[in-house]
Structure formats: C-alpha cells, structure tokens
Structure 1
Amino acid sequence: MNIVQRKKLWFSISCAIILLGAILAFTRNLNYGIDFTGGTLMEINVKKYVESSEIRSITDEIDSSATITHIGENRHVVQIRTTNDLDNEGRTKIFDKFKEKYNLTDEDLLRSEQFGPAIGREIRNKALISILIATIGMLIYISIRFELSYGISAIVALVHDVLVVLSIYSIFRIPINSPFVAAILTVVGYSINDTIVVFDRIRENIKITNKKDYANIANNSIKQTVSRSINTSLTTLIAIVALYVLGVESIKDFTLPLIVGILTGTYSSIFIASPVWVLLKEKGNI
C-alpha cells in the first residue's frame, strides 16, 4: 500500500474531523466540566458503599454530567459535583431523595455548597503556554538532530493530534475537566515518539539510497516501522484501557483523552507526518 501517494485521503479524513469538531464547538460550545464552570458540591454519608451507577439514577435527573466520587476510609461518603448551580432548595431536594432511599438523617448531609470554577483563565493560559513551549522545544531539538523539514512535519502532526482530540470531545460532548488538560500535556510528549522512529528510518534510508525519491523513501520507511509503531501503541493502550474499565471516575477522566490521543498519535505518525515531510521536500529546499 502506497501511503504517501494517498496523502490527500489521509489529509481529508483529518480535516473533516477537525472541521466538524470546530463547527460544533462554535455553534454549541465545548462541554466544559465543573472544573471550568463551577457548580454545586454535596457530600452525603450513605453509610455503605454504593455503586456510581446507582447514585446516578438520582443525580441524572438534575445533571447527567455530574461527577461522582467515593471518599472516606470505607468509601461510604459520596461526593457529588454538578455543573448546575443549585440553590439551597435544589440541594435539599436531592438530599431528600438520598434520605428516603438509604434511610438517612439530616446529619448525614456532611457538606452542601456552591463553588466557583477550579480552573480559571490563568490556569488555562498556563496550560496553553506549556504546550507552546514544549512544541517550540521539540521543533528546535528535531531540527538540530535531523533538519528543519522534519521538525516542521513533526509539529504539524503534533498540532493535528491535539486538534483531533479536541474535535472528538466536541463531537461527542465529552466534558472537559482538569484531567483533560493534564492528559493533553501527556499526549503532546507521547505522540512525538512514533514520528521520531519513522523519521530516523527515513534518514537512514536516504543515506543508503542517496536518491531524492522522497515519496518512495518515506513509504518504505513507514512499512519498515509500522509494526513497531502499532505494537508499541497497542501495549500502551492495553494498560490504559484496563485503567479506564476498572478505574474510578477521576481515573477515567484522565485515561479517556490518553486513549484518543495515543490512537491519533499512531495515525498521524504514519499517515500525516511523513506525507507532510514529502510535501516539504518536494516543494522547496527546507
């Protein structure tokens, strides 16, 4: 399969996903979670461990995106965070349902309050600055180790990965919370690995062939490294998917963007980075 020759197909797929995500983000906004929006916080002692799904049968009536966390030594205390800014009457109504279902008393409502966003503009700006600094650092490193065309191609693939993850979250209305920001920073560091492996093989093959048939060199390099890229990503995904399936909700909030980011990073290292490098080499002296 000539991957580079079909670059228009791969670029079209990525552009379609990013464009759809951007349109939906502008028309209905991203689904910011409670860390960005603020909301309501309640802590209720139900006196036994109760599955999150059972708790959600009550909270979904008010906010389907509410975050459920079990706290305390025996995990008998349920912490509920909702994006809806509930007044005292609304919070009392929720507790009354718990009170009736689990035979609780007024003393079992340990905490009930409204709270502001945990992630403000300053933290969001710092996250963006961190990504920008990491991107510039990678561009400099790759340009020194290889050459500028490799660096530009790698950054294009990196930006592609971040935009695709954001688009997936926009399309499926997945809440964006603080774990998402941490996961994106992790994806930025992780997704460059497969691309570097392919570029290293391209550099070796250029030395061997000493030809300027960039498309053929890139295609052969991809074929020689594709099994390594897939196997590496697959073993990582197995561990992360296990954490997602077996972990608590706070772990799922972190692992979900990692899963999407690793899949996207594997795709971009094969179908985006190398074709972009070929375009740069064929169009100019970069």
Structure 2
Amino acid sequence: MNYKNRYDFVKNRNLFFGASLLVTIIGIVILLISGLHYGVDFKAGTSLDVALGKTTDRAQVEKVFGDAGLNPVILTMGGNNDRFSARYDEVLTEEQVKQVITAFTGTYGDQVSHEVNTVSPDMANEMKNKAILAVAVASIAVSLYVTIRFEWRFALSAIVTILYDAFFVIAIFSIFRLEVDLPFVAAVLTTIGYSINDKIVILDRIRENLRFAKLKSEGDLAELVHTSIWQTMSRSINTVVTVIIAAVCLYLFGSESIKLFALAKLIGLVSGVYSSICLATPLWYLLKRATLRSGKVAPAKANS
C-alpha cells in the first residue's frame, strides 16, 4: 500500500519535539514552584467519609461542619449528594471525629455512617518513598528489557519517550493541582506498561522493514519510518480507543475514589500513543540518520 499521501510525522517532527519540550519545561517549572498536591495517602492528615442516608446539598453540609467548628480543607460530595468525603491536613483526635459525627447525626439522624482514615507523618513519608521507588524500579526494569531486546537506538528512543509519558501525567496533575494518591501511582505504572507496549509495536515493525530495506539516502530512511508508522497506525488507534472507552466509563460512572485514577490513566493513554507515533519513531530516525551519514549502516538486530 502506498502511504506517501498520508501525514508525514517524520517530516513534521520538529513541531512535536517543540510542543513536547514546552510541556516538559512548564511541568518542571510548576513542580519546582508548587510541587504536587498530595492526597491523604502521602500527606499526614485525616480523611472522613460519611454516608448520610438521605439527599442533601453542599451548603447544608458546610453549615453542619461550621456548627461543629471543624471545617475540612477539602470537601467532596458523592453519590446523589447523600455522602461526602472531608479531608483535614491535621490528624484529628477521636474526640474531634466524634464531635463531627455527632453534629451530622443530630441533623440527619441515626442512619449516618462513617469511615475514618488517618495517616501519620511517618507513614505518609514512607508511602511517598515507596511510591517513588515503585515508579523508578518499573522504569528501570522496562528500560533494561528494551535494551536487551532491541539495538541501542530503539532502546534509547523507547526509554526517553516512556519517561516523557510518565512525567507528562505527573506534570498535568501538578499544573492543575489535582490530588496525587496511591491510585495515581497505579495509573502512572499502567502508563509505563501501556506506553512501552505501543512503542514496541511500531519500533518492531521498523526493525522488520529495515532488515529487507536498501538504504541509500536519508530519504529512503525517512520513507521506511513513515511507512512503518502507517502500517501500525490502525492497531495503535484501535488499541488506545478500546482502553480509553473503559477509562472514560470508569471516570463517568465510577466512585469518587477512582475518578482521579481514571483521569490519570486517560492522560497516560493519550500521551502513550502520541509519544509512540510522534516522538519515539522520529527520535529513532535521527539516531539512525547519524549512522547513515557516517556510512556505517548496520543491519537490524534479530529477535532474541
């Protein structure tokens, strides 16, 4: 099939490189200035989940908190406005929790039920460190696998862009001050796994085509990469659309506790397919072009 009339990602690579670099710089600046908005899992404090047993409104809930004298930092309504989640930056004592629950029981009756989650400062730091370690180990393990499986140009292209995908999710959450918790870490790890899978599909097709190609010029190399991208395009799009549908359903119909997980997963999925097509393959092209210019075109590494 002739792909010459289709959009040329290799030719327009500088546009994607520039846009991605801009997002990266903005993300780094925001992270340095504001950091991440840590949730109760990574920040000492108390989270109070209350089921009221009847429909209410936010103003009424805020009034009861005011009467109790313990206004939360974050208040999220859920369900049909019959439950809510309240977040405190300090660790509440048993007496303070009882004070809040008593206030709501007096307003809404004995059907009020609650769940309290408290994270101490030591526990918050430990969970934060373990989360960072989990992301680092996953990234290193994937990088080692790709390095062993492919030649170094393929490996370097894949490694740089999966790190970009993970950072992109983190940067978006930092820019928009979205809460970072343990489900967020799971979403970042999922992003790394999906991203490397999508990149291997495209890079492996390039490797297959490279084994039978006769490269005499940079134009031949660009055409090979362009053809390989479009040969795998339908697979990449179909795969990401299928997973996005599931993630959108989680976001729209899931509970409040998994909405940010679904959102992080959505961001990671979109970034993964974008970087695979627009960043990883053009980056490999630049690395391979340097070899072509030196007159040392090596054959593709066979499957191990």
TM-score tier by shorter-chain length is 0.7 to 0.9
- Write the letter of the residue equivalent to 1:237: I
Q: Is the 8 A contact 2:38 2:179 kept in 1?
A: yes
Counterpart of 1:58?
61
CA contact (8 A) 1:138 1:151 kept: no
**Residues 177-216 of structure 1 mapped to structure 2, 5 A cutoff:** 177-211=181-215, 213-216=220-223
Change (3 A) 1:125 1:112: closer
Two-structure CA RMSD over aligned residues (Å): 3.4
Report what 1:82 is aligned to.
Answer: 87
Provide closer, same or farther for how the CA distance between residues 7 and 247 of structure 1 changes in structure 2, counting only shifts above 3 A.
same
Please, which of 9, 25, 43 is the counterpart of residue 15 of structure 2? 9
Cross-structure match for 1:223 = 230
Corresponding residue for residue 48 of structure 2: 42
How many residues in Structure 1 have an aligned counterpart in Structure 2? 277
Does structure 2 conserve the Cα–Cα contact (< 8 Å) formed by 1:66 and 1:83? no
Moved more, 24-33 or 133-142: 133-142
Identity %: 36
After superposition, residues 112-261 of structure 1 pair within 5 angstroms as 115-116=119-120, 120-211=124-215, 213-261=220-268
User: Is the CA contact 2:206–2:224 (under 8 Å) kept in the aligned structure 1?
Assistant: yes
Q: Distance in 2 between matches of 1:200 and 1:176?
A: 34
Change (3 A) 1:114 1:31: same
SS at match of 1:34: coil
Greater mean alpha carbon deviation, residues 25-34 or residues 89-98: 89-98
TM-score by length of 1: 0.82
Unmatched runs of 5 consecutive residues or more in structure 1 = 71-76
Structure 2-normalised TM-score? 0.77
Task: Kindly state the Cα deviation for residue 186 of structure 1 after the two structures are TM-superposed.
Answer: 1.5
Does the residue aligned with 2:85 lie in a helix, a strand or coil? strand
Residue identity matched to 1:9: L
Give the counterpart letter for 2:10 in structure 1. V
The structure with the largest alpha-carbon Rg is 2
